[in-house]
Amino acid sequence: MPQKPKSKFNMSKKTIFRRIGEEETNYATHHLYRYPGQFVPQIPGFLIEKFSKKYDVVLDPFCGSGTTLVEANLLHRNSYGTDVHPIARLVTKVKTRKISMSNDELITITNINPDFDDFDEIAEECKKFEYSYLFNRENLMPLLKLRKEIYENYTDDIRNFLLVCLLSIVKSCANIDEHKVRIVREKKDAINVFEIFKQTVRVNLKKLASLNTDVFAEVLNCNAKKISLDNNTVDLVVTSPPYLNALNYIKIHHIEMALLNERADEKNYIGVDKVTDGTGSSSDAGKKLMAIEIYFKDMENAISEISRVLKSSGVCGMIVDKDRKIKNVRFKFASELIERAKNYNMVLEDKFYRYATKENKSEGERILVFRKI
């Protein structure tokens, strides 16, 4: 398994995070589940090393697939994560929880007979599955059989782990291009779903071995606008809030959500599908501007909560979107968040940049460092 790269970042006003290849991020549990928009672990790792010490408490209120919490664990920090998306919460729990499976448990789940006895029952579930039209029947039935076995025979951490392994192979079994964010149809032949699942389980179990057990990582069932922690309990916040209308995680994970029988809490999402109905009407510009205001209002609520739970003199490292032009109006996202943070005793202490590519000299993401006063 690849080792975690050593930090090579120097602290200065002109700190630039160089381009980091995928091979450099494939350590510990970071690639246990591929999550769109996942930010490179070296950034939270750098912030955690710089602004906290061992056994401090780190919070990521937009934890996504748990990158910050994994880095906190590897650096012996305690951590909390929140996210509005149920898939994100499930994946983060699994990526930060060290488990072991007995040989009997492993054999049971990885050696299911393809000629299963409850064939008729699974065939009926196959007909009812919301997205059955995206699958060959030969590929969907084993997925549903595995889901049934996991729910009936396993509990708690092991069940969660096996469910994430199952979710991680769903798109490779569907008649779509699993590498595309949007659904792109692609005809596939029948594949050995049981064998793919078995290999995924074995590989992911090995990844969990890298986790430390001297610290906790807890995923809270709440969202960034209402964090279920007491005042002044967090030493450091490291987070990458959703970018305005960048990715719609509800649509991206709709197949996985259906497999888990989950529903999204759409009203508490920030920056998703609040821009336009796509009709091209003359009111589109007004809708976009309104969506931007809603976005910043939601972000201000999140900043208020971050300030509340953060200890006095605590630090918040926030990775935010580059400035962009919307309907011929240029919005300086970092500047707007900096100004709103002042209302909650959060003052900008430093700012860094991450360029999109090695060759591109334009500014990409900003890494804002706030301190609570």
Residues 369, 351 contacting (CB under 8 angstroms): yes
36: which 2 tokens? 């769109």
| DSSP structural state of residue 134 | G
Mean pLDDT of the chain: 86
Per-residue pLDDT reduced to its tens digit, 36-85: 877 889 999 999 999 999 999 999 999 999 999 999 999 999 999 999 99
Summarised one tens digit per residue, pLDDT across range 274-297 is: 544 444 444 566 777 777 888 899
Helix (H) or strand (E) holding 87: helix 86-95
Instruction: Report the pLDDT value the prediction gives residue 154, as an integer from 0 to 100.
Output: 92
The residues with which 67 forms a beta bridge, in sequence order, are none
Is a pLDDT exceeding 70 seen at residue 217?
yes
Cα separation, 220 vs 240, whole angstroms: 17
Angle (CA) 241 183 196, round 5°: 95
Q: Report the phi/psi class of residue 51: left, alpha or beta, with left for phi > 0 and alpha for psi in -120 to 50.
A: alpha
Q: Which tens digits make up the pLDDT trace of 325-365? A: 666 667 788 899 999 999 999 999 998 877 655 444 445 67
What domains, with CATH codes, occur in the chain? 16-98+213-247+264-372 (3.40.50.150), 103-208 (no CATH)
CA distance 295 to 271: 5
What are the angstrom distances between the C-alpha of 20 and each of 68, 72, 362?
Answer: 17, 19, 17
Instruction: Centre a 10 Å sphere on the Cβ of residue 37 and count the other Cβ atoms it contains.
Output: 14
pLDDT computed for residue 62 by the predictor: 96
Mean pLDDT of 118-141: 93
Residue 9, pLDDT score? 41
Tally DSSP H helices, then E strands, for the chain: 13, 10
d(CA 341, CA 347): 7
CA 86 to chain centre: 10
* pLDDT at 61 (0 to 100): 98
